[in-house]
Structure formats: structure tokens, C-alpha cells
Amino acid sequence: MAGHPLMAIWGLTKDIIGAGLHEEINTLIPKKINVVGWKYPPQDWMKLNVDGCSKCNPGLAATGGLIRDCIGSWIRGFAINTGVCTSVRAEL
């Protein structure tokens, strides 16, 4: 694998780190932090979160979800084996 592209990139990465250039590169890249997380629903509301996935496309799939109240307490949840389908169908 001497001519493999990943080996060439790995070699360049080691050269950059070894030369201390990574500190200069890091200062040139603007840093922006996006906080991602679950948000509480308004007072007297509940929130339903669902997700689905498939292993391969199509493949074995499942869907699940849960309901939480305005203080984040778990109300109900579910998980369903949806058989063999695409990832889009599992999400729906």
C-alpha cells in the first residue's frame, strides 16, 4: 500500500504535526460552536421525538420514539421492528 492515497495523507499529517505547523493552521480556521440539544416544549405541552433507521438500504429497519412533558419527564415510549425497508421509509 505504498502508493495508497491515505498513506500519503497520513505521511503529510505527520510532517505537519512534527514541524509544529498545525498550531499555525489552527489559528487560521475560524472556530464556531453550535450547541445542539433537546429543547423543552412550552408549559402544558408535550413533545414527541421519533427516529428510524435501516441497516443497509434497504435492510432490516426499526423506528422508535418517546413523549416528554414540559419539564422533560418521560411519559410514553415505543420501539417497532419495521422489517426490511429503506432508511427513508423507516424515518416516516
Q: What is the pLDDT of residues 22-59, one digit of tens each?
A: 555 556 666 777 778 889 999 999 999 999 999 988 99
Residues 6+ apart with CB under 8 A from 66: 48, 49, 74, 75, 76, 77, 78
Q: How confident is the model at residue 6 (pLDDT cuts 50, 70, 90)?
A: low
Q: Estimate to the nearest angstrom the gap between the alpha carbon of 81 and the chain centroid.
A: 21
Q: Is the pLDDT of residue 3 over 70?
A: no
Cell of 52: 428510524
Q: Is the pLDDT of residue 1 over 70?
A: no
Q: Is the pLDDT of residue 17 over 70?
A: no
Residue 52 vs residues 7, 23, 30, 76, 81: alpha-carbon distances, Å: 36, 41, 34, 17, 10
